[in-house]
Structure 1
Amino acid sequence: MTYKQLDPYKKDILIIDDMADNLRVLSSILSREGYNVRKALNWQMAWTACQTLLPDLILLDIMMPEVDGYEVCQRFKAWELTADIPVIFISALDDVFDKVKAFKFGGVDYITKPFELEEVLVRVKNQLELRSARLEVLTLNAQLEQRVKQRTWELEKALQKLQIEINARQKLQNKLLDMAMHDALTGLPNRILFIRRLEKALNRSKEESNYQFAVLFLDCDRFKVINDSLGHLVGDELLIAISRRLQACLAPEATLARLGGDEFGILLDSLRDIRMAIHVAEYILQQLSKTFKLSRYEVFMNVSIGINWGNKDYDRPEYLLRDADTAMYRAKDLGRARYHVFDPAMHEEVTKALEMENDLRRAIERQEFLVYYQPIISLKTGKISGFEALVRWQHPTNGLISPIDFIPVAEETGLINAINTWVLQSACQQLRIWKSHPATPTNLTINVNLSAKLFLQPNFIEQIDQIIADTQVNPASLELEITESVIMENNNEINIILQQLKARKIKLIMDDFGTGYSSLSYLHIFPFNALKIDKSFVKRMQDNQENMGLVPAMIGIAASMGMTAIAEGVETQEQLEQLKSLKCDFAQGFLFSKPIEQKLVLDFIISAPQW
């Protein structure tokens, strides 16, 4: 089988990604730069494309069905004709383990999604230049061998030329090695070289008992805001300025590396104790707090720093960097523009969170969730007016898990959308069943909490319509509880969605009112039907007998704006009487009932309790 280039002057790039949008965006970017771009959705298409024409470079996604990116790369490296083609992984997986695995399977570079245009172009250009240089070396070697064979009679002259060729090849190889180990934008060591130096330091600490070192992981705070608002060229200029200022903060023997994006790593050598590393971190924070005067702008930029003491018990240098990264994220959680020293307990927390995420994914597949229902009482009639649907997780080994423990992980990982949709579907189905019983009040409602992330789904309204159509529930009986975080961003878009829900006669409740920004302007703009007073304010009524805290004001706000007020967390008869005296409309809490299982709700309704 013969292979030839379609255009000998255009480099051929093969993109392998099962997401058509990714293929389209990358193809468009690279085609504009003059590259010949071909696309493949899976391994079979990629294999056929390589048999037709050998590419100069492969851009490969990791998360693909049937055969993932690691296996695709391994297969190409095993085939003689494609073994030398450079493979750049492009993936949303940003964990150091995934990146190390990518390099282990033969990848030459790793770009994290969402990618930056200039970064992709620079890395593609570098790898193509590296490949061209390698081919040039091979060509030089082949020519050299041919000359030796053909001109043995000019031995002295041939030896002279051979030495020249060897020197040229060594120089080229050194250049290639330098390019492969350094960041193209800042000129700093890259992640590969940094890991190698970490490994050297770790090995030295195992051999020399008095040798100590530390690893610092730095991430720029709000860099994306500057990059997106002022442009990538300004962002690149800022990264260069940051790298220069960081270098000025460090001793010559320290190693500063750009690990990717706006992340930097620092290896501090020959330290006496952890206080020296902390001192460096504090000095860096102080220096970076000063303004950066770029060519056209003045900007401010801080960093969050994770510090990991170089424990010789680590098996791999990647683990040192991983734990410094974990400490950096803790610094961000604590308010950013600060440092945090790694504690082994942090790794345990991250591991537990990962285990929780994996268990949650399986729980969604296996439908391990349950919906409990807590009654909502009308304070005018003293009777049940509705129920709030509350999700619980029936873990196969850990038993019943409260949403407090798993909802934050679900929110962070995006799994909350599937859970939210399932709860809404289940609650609507149950309401339909209960309403078929003669003992059920005709105006019984069901309240469901919705995550802010669910509103960002492009088909959110279609999902609501489908659930209503499937369950045949009356939309007027459905009440959606929304926290202020939903409306803090994308106000116009969210308002359109809320108006669409309102048009369907679905009621909207602002949940946890008083605990967030509590801006009255939101209440004027958005079509809420009710305010839900957080239980913390209800509890304070007893602590503040004279004016009962903010509860009267909240009830007054709701009444003045034509909304109803719902108090949650009512636990005592005294609280109930106080709320009645304030003319609060509805209440829920342990005084009336704890959340009850689905199978017991109908019995509760039939018992017709009265308060």
Structure 2
Amino acid sequence: MDVDTGLNEQAIVNQKEDILIVDDTPENLRLLSSFLVKEGYNVRKALTGQMALTAMDTVLPDLILLDIMMPAMDGYQVCEKLKSNPKTTEIPVIFLSALNDAFDKVKAFAVGGADYITKPFQFEEVLARVRIQLSLKTAKLQNKKLNAELEARVKERTYQLQVVIEELKREIQERKLLQTKLLNMALHDSLTGLPNRAFFMERLVELLKVAQENTDYQFAVLFLDCDRFKVINDSLGHLVGDELLIALTHRLKSILSLDNTIARFGGDEFAILLPEIDNINTAIQVADRILKALSFPFQLQRNEVFINASIGVALGNYSYEQAEHILRDADTAMYRAKILGKGQYHVFDPAMHAAAMQALQIENDLRKAIQQEEFLVHYQPIISLITGKITGFEALVRWQHPTKGIIPPGLFIPLAEETGLINSIGKLVLSKACHQIQQWYQDKLTNESICMSVNISARQFAQLDIVEQIDQIVTETQINPENLKLEITESAFINNAQSAKAILQELRQRKIQLSIDDFGTGYSSLSYLHNFPVDTLKVDRSFVSKLDGTSESLGLIPAIKKIAETMKMTVVAEGIETEKQLAQLRELNCEFGQGYFFAKPLPEKDATELLVASPRW
């Protein structure tokens, strides 16, 4: 009876393997099914966990590819049902999931999964893991067969027993080889064949131990990030991107020593470990060689591609307590290289980590500040240089930190821009400024028509609902739209000219005034002035500060004034601090000005008192 069972199992082994794919995404089912059928497998498909369980009532598959995230019954629940059923408990299950958290993988193996593949998957990886699991299953069946033969013949022939033992040894060796292969797959990148982060960190820990035992020992970590890889991926496609990564790997290998460790961390990020160097100059020379090598184009199958990289360099020695900190510092230096202009390297120094920690603290404080409404708005008067009277105010944000006092915008606005918090801050400032000018009008503090200027950041301007946000604030405050002027920098126009033009036209239809801030310091292209409905050009303080009463100091101001006249726009000069500067601007017939010569940005109470006093300069 036992021998017959073995023969039946052998027959099953020789059959074409049957694979059941369970995924609620039809496209995934189609792609995987087509691929595996081409590889010679029988493939069945199920869109839900219940369909999969029903399908197994008819024919038991040899292997199941099971998606985790499915409606009604997820992959974990399906696997638990399979493992609790004696008929299906031995069927290997490979989980497919976009989830890449260690907890999700642990849970997958805890419910009985045999393997785990993270989406988006590589077909080569899927095929390798499928073959491994089917091979393991075949091995199990062969083991059963061999055990059955042993039990039947052990008493008859000692020689046959020895044959079976040798066969078992061979299978054990094969399993060891398979384990070695799996370990290699776990520590290497499937696309480039390079070591991955896990391998790199193991090597980094080893070198740090050497440095801690020998204080003279030094090594270096280079963290490399491609600067234009996303553009290439988006424009030419992921296949070309993969081809470029492979070509980049070959080029990096060609300029590095055999004792250097290069690893791919994912995407377009690479790390390089230089063991036993004399000083930081050795690492700098390697970074220079890499940048020089990347200055030449990559000849791919159908494209010639140019790419550069930013490199962070960190010197490793006994002073580090954890290997992760060395990698962190190299990463920090890489981001500094990007900020400084990309296509270059930067060496880490401890002040950069302190700055990063300070930035993180400021970011945390910023988030709390938005929730707790710690932002104030100060108002700087804008003066008519023709009449000398106040003609408007610019709303400027200040941060009233609970422990550090007033924090100037230069310390938090760039971080707010980077993190996207500027959207909430900008909306808050716009609302407060509109409330303020409406309050002044309601209190009848001025008979003149005054305007409130509010800065709109490039990131804020890029929001899809920016016009709706402005409409909502205008409606809530009941401000006359003609009394509102939005100041926008040139970069907001250039980044997406078509949508910017549409937004500006909508604002113009609402009779909201528009001003270009810091004109002359950015792109300053006359072409966009023709296309965009702009009322005012604002001369940056860097031009005004150079005015000293001489014609040589005028710089670009006369040209900007001429452009404004031609385009029927007005000009506001900011940063006026001296009588000479004011006199020269009046000689140029500049219509408006603001600066410390008239008043600093003032709190609401002081700005109100200044408006009531109605001074004249």
Same fold (TM over 0.5): yes
CA contact (8 A) 1:86 1:131 kept: no
Identity %: 48
1:479 to 466, 485, 489: 485
Given residue 121 of structure 2, which amino acid in structure 1 is its aligned partner?
L
RMSD: 2.8
Partner of 2:78: 53
Instruction: Flag the 1:547–1:347 CA change in 2: closer, same or farther, 3 A.
Output: closer
Distance in 1, matches of 2:314 and 2:241, equals 28
Matched residue of 1:86: which SS? strand
TM-score, normalised to structure 1's length? 0.84
CA contact (8 A) 1:567 1:586 kept: yes
CA contact (8 A) 1:304 1:336 kept: yes
Partner of 2:574: 568
Q: Superposed, which structure 2 residues align to 1:250-261 within 5 Å?
A: 250-261=256-267
Spell out, residue by residue over 1:65-110, the C-alpha distance to the aligned partner (whole angstroms, 9 max, x if none): xxxx676667x36x8416766374x8xxxxxxxxxxxxxxxxxxxx
Q: Does 1:354 align with 2:343?
A: no
1:11 Cα deviation after fit: 3.3
Instruction: Flag the 1:144–1:190 CA change in 2: closer, same or farther, 3 A.
Output: same
Partner of 1:3: none
CA contact (8 A) 2:94 2:114 kept: no
1:226 to 218, 228, 232: 232
Distance in 1, matches of 2:77 and 2:409, equals 54
Partner of 1:81: 111
Spell out, residue by residue over 1:566-589, the C-alpha distance to the aligned partner (whole angstroms, 9 max, x if none): 011111222222222221111111
Distance in 2, matches of 1:394 and 1:337, equals 39
CA contact (8 A) 1:374 1:387 kept: yes
Partner of 2:157: none
CA contact (8 A) 1:217 1:266 kept: yes
Partner of 1:398: 404
CA contact (8 A) 1:30 1:37 kept: no
Greater CA drift, 425-434 or 326-335: 326-335
Partner of 1:151: 150
1:8 Cα deviation after fit: 6.8
Q: Superposed, which structure 2 residues align to 1:580-591 within 5 Å?
A: 580-591=586-597
1:528 Cα deviation after fit: 0.5
Distance in 2, matches of 1:305 and 1:210, equals 25
Matched residue of 2:554: which SS? coil
1:492 Cα deviation after fit: 1.0
1:31 Cα deviation after fit: 4.6
1:29 Cα deviation after fit: 6.0
Instruction: Flag the 1:276–1:8 CA change in 2: closer, same or farther, 3 A.
Output: same
Instruction: Flag the 1:499–1:324 CA change in 2: closer, same or farther, 3 A.
Output: same
Greater CA drift, 535-544 or 356-365: 535-544
CA contact (8 A) 1:567 1:587 kept: yes
1:453 to 437, 449, 459: 459
Q: Superposed, which structure 2 residues align to 1:260-339 within 5 Å?
A: 260-339=266-345
Greater CA drift, 325-334 or 245-254: 325-334
1:210 Cα deviation after fit: 4.3
1:422 to 425, 428, 433: 428
Partner of 1:126: 125
Instruction: Flag the 1:460–1:30 CA change in 2: closer, same or farther, 3 A.
Output: farther
Distance in 2, matches of 1:73 and 1:185, equals 21
1:526 Cα deviation after fit: 0.9
Distance in 2, matches of 1:73 and 1:51, equals 11
1:30 to 28, 31, 36: 28
1:482 Cα deviation after fit: 0.5
Matched residue of 1:265: which SS? strand
Question: Which ranges in structure 2 are unaligned for 5 or more consecutive residues?
Answer: 1-16, 34-45, 50-67, 80-92, 155-159
Instruction: Flag the 1:52–1:252 CA change in 2: closer, same or farther, 3 A.
Output: closer
Question: Which ranges in structure 1 are unaligned for 5 or more consecutive residues?
Answer: 1-6, 15-26, 63-68, 91-119
CA contact (8 A) 2:48 2:70 kept: no
Partner of 2:255: 249
Matched residue of 2:32: which SS? coil
CA contact (8 A) 2:21 2:29 kept: no
Partner of 2:562: 556
Matched residue of 2:395: which SS? strand
Q: Does 1:496 align with 2:496?
A: no
Matched residue of 1:276: which SS? helix
Matched residue of 1:512: which SS? strand
1:503 Cα deviation after fit: 0.7
CA contact (8 A) 1:215 1:267 kept: yes
Given residue 370 of structure 2, which amino acid in structure 1 is its aligned partner?
I
CA contact (8 A) 1:390 1:595 kept: yes
1:163 Cα deviation after fit: 0.7
Spell out, residue by residue over 1:204-239, the C-alpha distance to the aligned partner (whole angstroms, 9 max, x if none): 222234433211111122122222222222221111
Matched residue of 1:33: which SS? helix
Given residue 74 of structure 2, which amino acid in structure 1 is its aligned partner?
A
Spell out, residue by residue over 1:116-164, the C-alpha distance to the aligned partner (whole angstroms, 9 max, x if none): xxxx232x86378547735754774586378547734253233122112
Aligned residue pairs: how many?
551
Partner of 1:12: 22
Distance in 2, matches of 1:590 and 1:38, equals 70
Distance in 1, matches of 2:97 and 2:29, equals 14
Q: Superposed, which structure 2 residues align to 1:464-543 within 5 Å?
A: 464-542=470-548
Given residue 236 of structure 1, which amino acid in structure 2 is its aligned partner?
D
Given residue 535 of structure 2, which amino acid in structure 1 is its aligned partner?
N
Q: Does 1:172 align with 2:182?
A: no
Given residue 360 of structure 1, which amino acid in structure 2 is its aligned partner?
L
TM-score, normalised to structure 2's length? 0.83
CA contact (8 A) 1:308 1:324 kept: yes
Spell out, residue by residue over 1:435-459, the C-alpha distance to the aligned partner (whole angstroms, 9 max, x if none): 1012223522111000111122111
Distance in 2, matches of 1:446 and 1:32, equals 59
Matched residue of 1:610: which SS? coil
Instruction: Flag the 1:144–1:8 CA change in 2: closer, same or farther, 3 A.
Output: closer
Partner of 1:111: none
Distance in 2, matches of 1:581 and 1:28, equals 73
Distance in 1, matches of 2:146 and 2:581, equals 99
Matched residue of 1:243: which SS? helix
Distance in 2, matches of 1:208 and 1:138, equals 50
CA contact (8 A) 1:11 1:56 kept: no
Distance in 2, matches of 1:516 and 1:142, equals 72
Instruction: Flag the 1:211–1:311 CA change in 2: closer, same or farther, 3 A.
Output: closer
Given residue 439 of structure 1, which amino acid in structure 2 is its aligned partner?
L
Spell out, residue by residue over 1:390-435, the C-alpha distance to the aligned partner (whole angstroms, 9 max, x if none): 0111111111111100000000111111111111111111111111
Spell out, residue by residue over 1:156-215, the C-alpha distance to the aligned partner (whole angstroms, 9 max, x if none): 233122112101111111111111111111111111111111111111222234433211
Given residue 144 of structure 1, which amino acid in structure 2 is its aligned partner?
N
Matched residue of 1:524: which SS? helix
Partner of 1:408: 414
